[in-house]
Amino acid sequence: MSDVLTAPKSRRNIEAVLLVLALLVGIGANMVVSLDQDRAFDSDFWTQGATLVGLVLVFHIVLRIRAKYADPVILPIVTALNGIGLAMIHRIDIAEDTSAADRQLLWSAVAVAAAIAVLFVIKDHRILRRYTYISLIVSAILLLLPLTPVGVEINGARIWIQVGSGTFQPGEVAKITLAIFFAGYLSTNRDLILMAGRKVGPLQLPRFKDLGPMMAAWIVSIGVLVLQRDLGSSILFFGLFMAMIYVATSRVSWVLIGLALLAAGGLVAMQLFSHVALRIDGWINAFDPEVYDRIGGSHQVVQGLYGLASGGLAGTGLGQGRPDLVTYANSDMIIAALGEELGLLGIFAIVLLYVLLVSRGFRAALGTRDGFGKLLACGLSFTIALQCFVVIGGVTRLIPLTGLTTPFMSAGGSSLLANWIIVALLLLISEAARRPAATGPSPGQWSRPCRSRRWDRRNGRARQGNRRCRAHESGHPQQLDRGTVHVHPHPRVADLCPVFRCRRA
């Protein structure tokens, strides 16, 4: 097998072709809905289609300028999901005579604008590592805001704040800031967590004082469950930390401890708090007539299951079902609405899009060269995966219904804004992973020879010097100054140093 390294190529042209296909899926779904309802090519259709095309085109141009080596698949996948969500929300608006699609289109524009701002403001994702503990403070403020006088209680959950004439869910942004904090903390303290602790059988148990971050995450999740009465966000926050600490340490003991804490907290909450007990009862006894007819009972879940059953394998067709019979069909239960009209095959296609999106995020994590970027990409990708699992599991009665929204598809500006920001961060990390590695400074830029390893031009080998070249700290030889160790960033030649002259550390 050849060891010749090919230079990475910009895949923006491939992305452009995939974007055309994604736009055809989203706009085509909207057209089918309009044709079925005898509203073919009305003003709503042209407005939504033109807006979606314009937003995606602007984002694509920005990527060509700011991150031309970014992953070419992420944006088309998100575009397809957002387009399908807009089409289904528009279809439910026609049935219920509402205007949620117009608000969703406006929030899509705001979310894409925020993602573009992230691409321009954050030139390198590693800058976020400087704000590790600031992110923790911001997360605490965001989670406490709904408990202040500006908080609003809706359907028993206090997770929103009043913003003008609308509401906003700060917890959606908090999952991003928490991921930044966890990535910064774990990348800094990973060695200490790995080396310390006692081994009991095959498990390496951490020290008691190293359990502090996990206990803090557990307390935060229980606090969200108790004070804000939001089961979904509680599971999401704690699951995020468990996934990231497992990626950082590769130790099953952390996962077992986390699952034990989660089970203990859930059992205690079910015994002490009525809203948790009612949610569990509605899950277990969903078809009990008393539970079904009770306020806040299992009516929503059961109607969603009937909708999925009536859809069958191929679905009733867009515009041919009755998603309006399900409560909150355009937000919490949009998967049930899509399953009824697109069938099992349509749901499989949507799930496959999410799987591809998460896998591209993990691929960006594998490709980037810094520990912070790896953890951040894994955490953000796992957030999307866990959110999809919790939503689809709740709709299909695999787990209790939690009230989380389906990423990019459900009606809700807070979730859409946060998820587009996650996409921007994943694109930044993938751009850093795929960007061509610098081969070294221009001749004569530095005066002292590298004392670690020298590159032999004649035979392409590295000659051993006085010490080993520490080649994976930075990845940017052109930005070195006194006190910085020279590195060669390419992973395939980790032990080779092609820079002829560089500063010493």
* Residue linked to tokens 């990409």: 377
- pLDDT tens, position by position, 367-425: 998 889 999 999 999 999 999 999 999 999 998 888 788 999 998 889 999 999 999 99
CA distance 77 to 97: 30
> What count of Cα atoms within 13 Å lies in the side-chain half-sphere of residue 462?
20
Scored b (16 or more CB within 10 A) or e, 201-232 reads eeebbbeeebbebbeebbebbbebbbebbbbb
Per DSSP, the three-state class of 460 is coil
Please choose, from the candidates 347, 390, 384, 346, the residue with its C-alpha nearest in 3D space to the C-alpha of residue 365: 384
Residue 199 in contact with residue 273, Cβ under 8 Å?
no
Instruction: Please give the pLDDT value at position 442.
Output: 41
CA distance 294 to 289: 8
| Range from 174-188, 357-371, 435-449 carrying the lowest mean pLDDT | 435-449
What integer is the mean pLDDT of 185-212? 68
CA distance 248 to 505: 27
Structure tokens at 240: 């995020």
Alpha-carbon separation of residue 486 from 353, 367, 436, 467 (angstroms): 41, 20, 17, 13
DSSP string spanning 391-402? HHHHHTTSS---
CA distance 74 to 430: 10
CA distance 400 to 279: 7
Sequence-separated (6 or more) residues with CB below 8 Å from residue 389: none
Instruction: Please give the pLDDT value at position 211.
Output: 64
Please choose, from the candidates 499, 464, 455, 457, the residue with its C-alpha nearest in 3D space to the C-alpha of residue 479: 499
Instruction: Please give the pLDDT value at position 477.
Output: 40
At residue 139, does pLDDT exceed 50? Answer: yes
Sign of the Cα pseudo-torsion (373, 378, 379, 383, in order): positive
Which pTM value belongs to this model? 0.83
At residue 485, does pLDDT exceed 80? Answer: no
CA distance 290 to 321: 27
* Residue linked to tokens 């790896």: 374
Quote the DSSP letter at residue 501: B
